[in-house]
């Protein structure tokens, strides 16, 4: 069996691996033959790697039709794939660091932790070829699968490598969520941010408040395209995840070393909750009992009342959320909260006076800080969109200790947060909002925003150059955001997300040079094989040559923005 790698020979090409590894080398002189998986191949799962072995049998075993039976010590050392933990890798590369070594005798997948072994197993799977990304053998007669004689040692650049899926605007059924968890794992991404609530729908069962899904989970019709479009889909749209669905999703993600971060949006983007429970709104300003779930995509003036009963309501909601999502972070939105109703509300103005606040911005800061402290008392951390920085520190405002910022309006919010001592996740809309169009042509379906090509995403840099060395350490990583106003089903989500997610995965995983120096031609060469993997996985990605006829949506109005996006 291959042993721990010694000094590495000259690097070799990355064999189509995405994201690109830090180091790869030939394990046999002259690039000799590697190892062949066959009916006799066994998996030896050393202590702590048993779940990875189960995943390999469920994926590689299913695609190849090979049993990949457990190894028994009496069977000797020949013809096997060994999974094991290596404390030295953890010391040198961190818990997610891993090494895959293949030669003529077999393969060893080592990691600094079980997570590292799992990412090594993803590399191992890619080395076997695109057919291994299918769910069953295409050629049942094929009984041998060749691996190249190759060593790979790797570790991620960032700890937060995420994708935000907006399941509130258009509900994505559970099987689609599972599919995206598998797609994240295949790209070594480790955070799935689920945008669960908004003006257009509430998607999470809260047992204490059943009307959140019974009423707030459905809208009578849906705007087709941009908000200025005259077209409507007259069908009711809705759906939600039960609490058991969420437990299943979270467990499925955890087996793939992915954390699910829930988002419960407050105090804006709360129209569905107000439609279900009108007392949550500013009833001294507007007849909240007449409000329904929003059917179009405009900013909603109907925001939460800053009353004590609203705070208690959302504390009760979050009690159930914490039971379902065991991760550290809970996202509470905090973005795009119009203040007009608070300005007109005697109750809101009284709250501002009682708290000694200066204005409505400070009232929102107080609102967010309340829940940041509430989460902190329970061992969790708040994360919110960069508007949560607004409002100053008067009256005890400002972010709660440990709160983090997702910088979406550009880089400025992340820079300000890092300089103020807060952790940051970079997701600037001008760079990594995948609802933005991929080309300038008329064939792009419901074109939104700036043109962001595969190459543009490949050249995205999460760490702003303005940050000093200590401040750069505040950047936890980055995530791409997929807002689904004009994405009615998984095929549309696939089209907007892929292939750009592959480039994003490389940006947040690999140790790349500065953006202008990155070799896009080399990346494109590796993508040729990766497209075949996406085909095998059934992903309806945008082809490099432009959309298929069935991917176009003629007559559906978008909102394209011309020119290069600003760096703000």
Characterize the bridge pairing of strands 98-103 and 42-45.
unpaired
Contact 328, 378 (CB under 8 A): no
Q: What distance in Å separates the CA atoms of residue 234 and residue 143, rounded to the nearest whole number?
A: 52
Which letter, b or e, does each residue of 514-546 get, where b requires 16 or more Cβ atoms within 10 Å of its Cβ?
eeeebeeeebeebbeebbebbebbebbbbeeee
The tokens 């994505």 sit on which residue?
A: 172
Q: Which helix (H) or strand (E) holds 81?
A: strand 80-85
Contact 225, 169 (CB under 8 A): no
Backbone region of residue 47 per phi and psi (left: phi > 0; alpha: psi in -120 to 50; beta: other values): beta
The shares of helix, strand and coil residues in the chain, as percent rounded to the nearest 5, are 35, 20, 45
Dihedral angle at the C-alpha atoms of 62, 65, 71, 77, nearest 10 degrees? -120
Catalytic residue numbers, as ranges: 198, 269, 336
Coil vs helix vs strand at 232: strand
Q: What distance in Å separates the CA atoms of residue 122 and residue 113, rounded to the nearest whole number?
A: 14
Angle at 414 between CA 412 and CA 417, to 5 degrees: 110
Q: What distance in Å separates the CA atoms of residue 40 and residue 80, rounded to the nearest whole number?
A: 8
Which letter, b or e, does each residue of 218-254 get, where b requires 16 or more Cβ atoms within 10 Å of its Cβ?
bbeebbbbbeebeeeeeeebbebbeeebbeebbebbe
Characterize the bridge pairing of strands 80-85 and 106-111.
parallel
Coil vs helix vs strand at 559: strand
Q: What distance in Å separates the CA atoms of residue 123 and residue 129, rounded to the nearest whole number?
A: 11
Q: Which residues contact 353 (CB under 8 A, 6 or more apart)?
A: none
Q: Which residues pair with 233 in a beta bridge?
A: 222
Query: Within 13 A of 326's CA, how many CA atoms are on the CB side?
Result: 9
């Amino acid at each position: 069996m291959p042993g721990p790698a010694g000094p590495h020979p000259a690097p070799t090409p990355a064999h189509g691996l995405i994201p690109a590894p830090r180091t790869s080398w030939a394990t046999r002189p002259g690039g000799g033959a590697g190892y062949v998986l066959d009916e006799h191949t066994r998996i030896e799962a050393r202590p702590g790697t048993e779940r990875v072995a189960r995943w390999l049998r469920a994926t590689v075993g299913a695609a190849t039709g090979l049993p990949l039976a457990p190894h028994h010590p009496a069977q000797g050392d020949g013809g096997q794939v060994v999974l094991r933990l290596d404390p030295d890798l953890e010391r040198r590369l961190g818990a997610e660091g891993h090494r895959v070594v293949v030669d003529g005798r077999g393969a060893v997948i080592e990691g600094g932790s079980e997570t590292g072994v799992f990412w090594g197993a993803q590399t191992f799977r890619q080395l076997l070829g695109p057919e291994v990304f299918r769910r069953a053998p295409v050629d049942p007669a094929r009984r041998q699968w060749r691996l190249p004689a190759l060593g790979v040692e790797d570790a991620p650049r960032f700890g937060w490598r995420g994708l935000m899926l907006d399941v509130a605007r258009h509900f994505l059924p559970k099987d689609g969520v599972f599919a995206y968890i598998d797609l994240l794992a295949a790209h070594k991404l480790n955070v799935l941010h689920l945008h669960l609530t908004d003006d257009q729908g509430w998607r999470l069962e809260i047992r204490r408040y059943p009307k959140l899904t019974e009423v707030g989970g459905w809208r009578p019709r849906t705007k087709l395209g941009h908000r200025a479009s005259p077209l409507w889909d007259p069908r009711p749209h809705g759906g939600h995840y039960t609490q058991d669905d969420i437990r299943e999703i979270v467990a499925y993600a955890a087996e793939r070393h992915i954390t699910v971060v829930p988002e419960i949006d407050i105090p804006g983007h709360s129209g569905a909750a107000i439609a279900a429970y009108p007392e949550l709104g500013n009833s001294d300003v507007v007849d909240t009992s007449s409000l329904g779930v929003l059917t179009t995509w405009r900013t909603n003036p109907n925001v939460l009342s800053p009353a004590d009963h609203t705070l208690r309501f959302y504390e009760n909601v979050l009690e159930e959320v914490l039971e379902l999502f065991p991760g550290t972070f809970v996202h509470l939105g905090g973005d795009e909260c119009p203040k007009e109703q608070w300005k007109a509300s005697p109750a809101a103005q009284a709250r501002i006076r009682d708290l000694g606040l200066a204005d409505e911005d400070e009232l929102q800061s107080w609102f967010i800080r309340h829940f940041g402290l509430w989460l902190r008392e329970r061992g969790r951390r708040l994360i919110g969109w960069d508007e949560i920085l607004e409002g100053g520190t008067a009256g005890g405002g400002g972010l709660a200790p440990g709160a983090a910022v997702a910088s979406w309006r550009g880089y400025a919010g992340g820079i300000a947060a890092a300089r103020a001592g807060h952790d940051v996740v970079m997701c600037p809309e001008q760079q990594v909002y995948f609802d933005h169009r991929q080309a300038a042509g008329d064939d792009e379906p419901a074109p939104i925003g700036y043109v962001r090509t595969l190459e543009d995403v490949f050249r995205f840099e999460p760490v702003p150059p303005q940050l000093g060395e200590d401040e750069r350490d505040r950047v936890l990583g980055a995530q791409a955001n997929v807002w689904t106003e004009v994405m009615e089903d998984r095929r549309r989500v696939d089209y907007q997300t892929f292939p750009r997610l592959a480039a994003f995965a490389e940006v947040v995983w690999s140790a790349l040079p500065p953006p202008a120096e990155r070799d896009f031609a080399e990346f494109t060469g590796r993508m040729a094989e990766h497209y075949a993997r996406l085909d095998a996985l059934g992903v309806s990605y945008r082809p490099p040559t432009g959309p298929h006829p069935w991917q176009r949506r003629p007559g559906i109005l978008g909102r394209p923005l011309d020119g290069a996006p600003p760096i703000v």
